[in-house]
Structure 1
């Protein structure tokens, strides 16, 4: 699975209009994804993918948060294929353990379209995120 996901990520990244100053973040994210996919079992994460014509075109990775919740840490899809983001979300959730009641979709990072997409799932609760810094 690692090879096919990494090929997908390379193609996904190539389609993005990345500014030079953003490239280091993209490379760090890609390295992190490689580590996560290699260690899915050790991390006790759940993963799913949509494969079209033998190619990964979308994938999702999450992990349990308590007894009734799963947190979706990563969700990527080929945006050239209409409806693929909702499809990977739907398929990922359909294959979760029956004990899972809630899906935490994490933050929207202030990205308007991402926030709109996440709100379209009609969340039960929104929690404001804070950053805690040590003061010395």
Structure 2
């Protein structure tokens, strides 16, 4: 099991992989591309992109795409995720995860130990824990009496 502290995260590699994955984004309606790179406790990186749909609701966020890819392959332990975006003009900014994505993270991550890297590029990024971005989050532990 890979136990990473904030200072030991492979931030540059995660940002690069997420930026490369922006090319796979399917965002013909919003023109707002989002990509993510998800680091497992074993050091493997899964990527995901947002996938829009004409009916809107069936679309999926980049973060959940990465989680669902990993979980569908049997992975259940995660260390960090990096999220990047690109607007219709090709600009990049800080893009925090939506509420549904934060809820999925709560299902599979330890809030105080899971890191979320919000990156505009390799020089401009922020690192937060899930607990910081989703205080008092509802997760599996909430169902235990």
Pair in the same fold by TM > 0.5: no
Name the larger-Rg structure: 1
Greater fraction helix: 1
Q: How high is the TM-score relative to the length of structure 1?
A: 0.34
Q: Which has the bigger relative contact order, CA under 8 A and spacing at least 6? A: 2
Q: How high is the TM-score relative to the length of structure 2?
A: 0.33
